[in-house]
Amino acid sequence: MAANTDRRRINAPSGGTSAPIFAKTVKDPQYQQSLRPTRTRGPDELRKIFLQTGIIPSASGSAYLEIPGQPRSSSTLIPSSSSLKITASIQGPKPLPRSAPFSPSLLLTTTVKFAPFATRNRRGYIRDSVERDLGVHLESALRGVIIGERWPKSGVEIVITILEGDEDGWWGDSAGEGSGWGLLNVLSGCITVSSAAITDAGIDCVDMVSGGVAALVREPSQTGKEGALVKVLDPCPSEHQDIIAACAVGYLAGRDEITELWVRGNVQEDSDQLIEGATHAAFGGLTVMKEVLLESLEAKFKGFTEKSTDAKGGDSGGDIEMSG
């Protein structure tokens, strides 16, 4: 009884506790290789894309893009592959400050920022060189799409927040750290989600631009010799042990033009095939974007029609049958 009244003593929990039991250690190389993810899709098959517009009411336009990764294995808590989650918000078009010089066209500003928890290695709150480079690539992809002559002495800002970025490789391979293969998928997602947000904001464009990625990977060989090179669309870096080259593009399908091109690795003589594969991947993302924007437009017109009908007196109860 005295122990319960003693406030200087921490009482033990009422229920019993048991020591944790660890199944296996991740330092076992055979166990690590059994957790390595493999590509189950075909070389020309893309991952599923989730896209939604109008997620930020205070912004002129906004969009959210998600590309899910492989499901988590039941034998470990570490995910085999990461997913891609990006949000985009549009601020503007709005007038420039009076002190700014006259601009005959719209000034475009892009800001790309990783969330601190977006990657396995925690990122800082201040933009680094990688984020600034992604912003430059994104601005190049969108600069020729917006019809800037419609808004003289005005500016628009596109803010991209990467909630989860595609990793550069599998977590069990130390060689994949810092290779930068995942940044190509991040740039492709930024281009697609930015185009959807621009369309949601009602900014005039010549066409919708979408991003796509293609890569040259070397197949693993059981005989000890070098495997053959295979071109794959929408590569996930954690699913491939040896990526030779990769290409990300911003593609205008209506005009058959490429607004942005970023190539990494040793392309060799397959540069044209790699760029063509990236454009095919971008066309797949454009199909999803068109369907999502069409559904969003239909929902906006439906809501506008219901509001206008209620404002006229609520005569939406149905047709009136007249008899003579």
> 159-216 pLDDT, tens per residue?
999 999 887 777 666 655 557 788 999 999 999 999 999 999 989 999 999 999 999 9
Distance CA 141, CA 261 (A): 8
Q: Any idea which residue has 């921490």 for tokens?
A: 10
Q: With 70 as the cut, is the pLDDT of residue 49 above it?
A: yes
Q: Which range is least confidently modeled, 97-101, 130-134, 180-184, 315-319? A: 315-319
Q: What is the pLDDT of residue 198?
A: 94
pTM to 2 decimals?
0.81
36-69+79-171+178-299: CATH number: 3.30.230.70
Q: Which range is least confidently modeled, 43-52, 124-133, 173-182? A: 173-182
pLDDT classification of 20: cutoffs 50, 70, 90 = low
Distances (CA, A) of 133 to 20, 25, 128, 150, 209: 45, 38, 9, 28, 19
**What is the residue extent of each domain of the chain?**
36-69+79-171+178-299
Q: With 80 as the cut, is the pLDDT of residue 315 above it?
A: no
Distance CA 197, CA 314 (A): 33
- pLDDT, the chain, mean: 82
Question: What is the length of the chain?
Answer: 324
Counting Cα atoms < 13 Å in the Cβ hemisphere of 9 gives 9
Nearest by Cα to 108 from 146, 137, 134: 146
3-state SS, residue 306: helix
Residue partners of 137: CB distance under 8 A and separation at least 6: 187, 260, 262
Q: What is the pLDDT of residue 131?
A: 92
Q: What is the pLDDT of residue 316?
A: 45
**209-218: strand order across its sheet:** 229-233, 209-218, 243-252, 257-265
Q: What is the pLDDT of residue 124?
A: 84
Nearest by Cα to 184 from 131, 110, 249, 256: 249
Residue-by-residue DSSP string for 250-302:
EEETTTTEEEEEEEEE--TT-HHHHHHHHHHHHHHHHHHHHHHHHHHHHHHHH
Q: What is the pLDDT of residue 12?
A: 66
Task: Judge whether 167 and 119 are in contact, CB under 8 Å.
Answer: yes
72-85 tens-digit pLDDT? 666 666 666 778 99
3-state helix, strand, coil in the chain (%, to 5): 30, 25, 45
- 204 or 322: which leads in pLDDT: 204
Q: Which structure tokens are listed for 54?
A: 């109008």
Q: What angle (nearest 5°) sits at the alpha carbon of residue 17, between those of residues 12 and 19? A: 130
State which amino acid sits at residue 231. K
Q: What is the pLDDT of residue 319?
A: 39
Percent of the chain residues topping a pLDDT of 70: 78
